Amino acid sequence: MARAFPAAIAAAFRGEALGLAYLLELDTGGGTPDPLRIVNGDGDVEFAGSTWTVRPMEFDETGVAPHEEAQSLQLRLADADGFWKALLASGAELRGKRATLFRVPRGSLGSGSVEADSLRDTFLVETWERASGAVSLDLKPLLATLELDVPAGTITRKEFPGIPDINSVP
């Protein structure tokens, strides 16, 4: 799946100081609010017609893949104030839910559109764990959920005599 490179991002890369904001839109499975929109940084921001609430987050070490699909990602969300604990206790289920990560130049915050002013990757929450005052999410790229293991060749009755003959199957 080819992705276009937004003009606002390209212009920001040409500048001397690229300040990216990371915005995470996380489905909570019916928790309040749903979806949850959070941003790293110093304060709440407006972007693409929505308010994004500041919450500390950090990512694991990442690398560049030789293809266009995003890599799996581990995200750690701080829970010093008990926000995540209360959310999970209220019945929110994160596993299997969609998480969309937007990378936006800080100059585009307060206006902008999702399509024109951000790089976006969509993930599914594969697992989550709450420990040591934080919640860790293991995020798997959306397209990776379509991984199928298929045989490299044709399997015949010669190799596996137990396979029924196609003509004998009712």
CATH assignment at residue 129: 2.30.110
Sequence-separated (6 or more) residues with CB below 8 Å from residue 16: none
Domain with 27 in it: 7-146
Residue 165 vs residues 81, 136, 151, 154, 155: alpha-carbon distances, Å: 63, 50, 19, 15, 12
Contact 21, 104 (CB under 8 A): yes
Flag whether 107 is in a domain: yes
Flag whether 75 is in a domain: yes
Flag whether 106 is in a domain: yes
Angle value at C-alpha 100, between 91 and 9, nearest 5 degrees:
155
Number of domains in the chain: 1
Flag whether 91 is in a domain: yes
| pTM metric for this prediction | 0.69
Q: Which residues pair with 130 in a beta bridge?
A: 135
Work out the number of other CB atoms within 10 angstroms of the CB of residue 47.
22
Flag whether 159 is in a domain: no
pLDDT in tens, the chain (170 residues): 445 556 655 555 555 455 788 899 998 876 567 789 999 888 898 888 888 899 989 887 655 555 555 678 899 999 988 888 888 888 888 888 999 998 888 777 776 666 677 788 889 999 989 888 899 999 988 777 666 555 556 667 777 777 777 666 55
Flag whether 39 is in a domain: yes
Flag whether 119 is in a domain: yes
Burial class (CB in 10 A: 0-12, 13-18, 19+), 160: exposed
